[in-house]
Structure 1
Amino acid sequence: MKKVAFLVTGLNSGGLENYLLRFLTFYKEEISATVICKGGYIGDLETNFKELGAKIISVEIGYFDPAKFYELYQILMTGEFESVCDFTGNFAAIPLYLAKLAGIKKRIAFHRGSNNRYKETPIKTLYNKTINMQLPCAATKVLANSKAAMDFFHKDSWKRNSKFEVIYNGINAFQFLNSQENLREDLLIPKSAFVVGHVGRYNEAKNHSTIIEVAVTLCRNNKDIYFLFCGKDVYEQLKTRVEEEGLNDQIKLLSHRKDVIKVLNTLDCFYFPSINEGQPNALIEAMIAGLPIIASDIDPIKETVPKELYDLLVPPLNKELAVNRILELKEGKIEKLILKDWAIKHFSHKKWFEQFYSKL
Structure 2
Amino acid sequence: MNKNVIFFLTGLDSGGLENYLLRFLKENGFTFNNIIIYCKGGKGGVLEDEYLKLPNVRIIKKNLGTFNIIKFFKLYLWFRNYNKYTVCDFTGNFSGPILFASKIANINNRIVFYRSSSNRFPETFFRLKINSFYHKLVKKYATNILANSAYAFEFFFGKNYSDFRTKVIYNGINAKELLQETEGIQTELNIDNNTIVIGHTGRYNPAKNHGTIIKVAEVVVRKYANAIFVLCGKGVVENLQSIVKKRGLESRIILFENRNDIPKVLNTFDIYYFPSITEGQPNSLIEAWIKGIPFIASNIPPIENITPLKYKSYLVDPLDIQLNIDSIGKLIDKRWNNNERHELADFAIEEFSADKRFREFRDII
TM-score, L = length of structure 2: 0.95
What's the CA shift for 1:191?
2.0
What's the CA shift for 1:242?
1.2
Alignment partner, residue 340 of structure 1: 345
Contact 2:99–2:137 at 8 Å: present in 1 too? no
Partner amino acid for 2:96?
Answer: A
Name which of structure 1's ranges 65-74 and 343-352 shifts more when overlaid on structure 2. 65-74
Aligned 1:86-125 pairs, distance under 5 A: 86-125=89-128
Tell me, in whole angstroms, the C-alpha distance in 1 between the residues paired with 2:335 and 2:195: 18
Identity of aligned residues (%): 43
Tell me, in whole angstroms, the C-alpha distance in 1 between the residues paired with 2:164 and 2:345: 33
**Is it true that 1:353 corresponds to 2:358 in the alignment?**
yes
Partner amino acid for 1:100?
Answer: K
Name which of structure 1's ranges 72-81 and 208-217 shifts more when overlaid on structure 2. 72-81
Contact 2:184–2:265 at 8 Å: present in 1 too? yes
Alignment partner, residue 46 of structure 2: 44
Contact 1:5–1:81 at 8 Å: present in 2 too? no
Deviations 1:326-357 (A, max 9, x none): 11111117778421000000001111101101
Tell me, in whole angstroms, the C-alpha distance in 2 between the residues paired with 1:89 and 1:276: 15
Partner amino acid for 1:140?
Answer: T
Deviations 1:24-75 (A, max 9, x none): 0011211221000011111111000000031000111122212211232233
Contact 1:182–1:263 at 8 Å: present in 2 too? yes
SS of corresponding position for 1:21: helix
Partner amino acid for 2:330?
Answer: E
C-alpha RMSD over aligned residues: 1.4
Deviations 1:177-232 (A, max 9, x none): 22111011111122210110000000000000000111111112222001000000
Partner amino acid for 2:225?
Answer: K
Aligned 1:40-189 pairs, distance under 5 A: 40-53=42-55, 54-158=57-161, 160-189=162-191
Tell me, in whole angstroms, the C-alpha distance in 1 between the residues paired with 2:315 and 2:168: 23
SS of corresponding position for 1:186: helix
Which 5+ residue runs of structure 1 have no aligned equivalent? none
Contact 2:294–2:336 at 8 Å: present in 1 too? no
Deviations 1:127-183 (A, max 9, x none): 11122122121100010000010000001353x211111111010100122211101
Partner amino acid for 1:211?
Answer: I
Tell me, in whole angstroms, the C-alpha distance in 1 between the residues paired with 2:74 and 2:306: 39
TM-score, L = length of structure 1: 0.97
Aligned 1:256-335 pairs, distance under 5 A: 256-332=258-334
Partner amino acid for 2:350?
Answer: K
Alignment partner, residue 7 of structure 2: 6
SS of corresponding position for 2:358: helix
Name which of structure 1's ranges 67-76 and 256-265 shifts more when overlaid on structure 2. 67-76
Tell me, in whole angstroms, the C-alpha distance in 1 between the residues paired with 2:67 and 2:286: 38
Deviations 1:245-265 (A, max 9, x none): 111111110111121101100
Structure 1 runs, 4 residues or longer, greater than 3 Å off: 333-337
Alignment partner, residue 255 of structure 1: 257
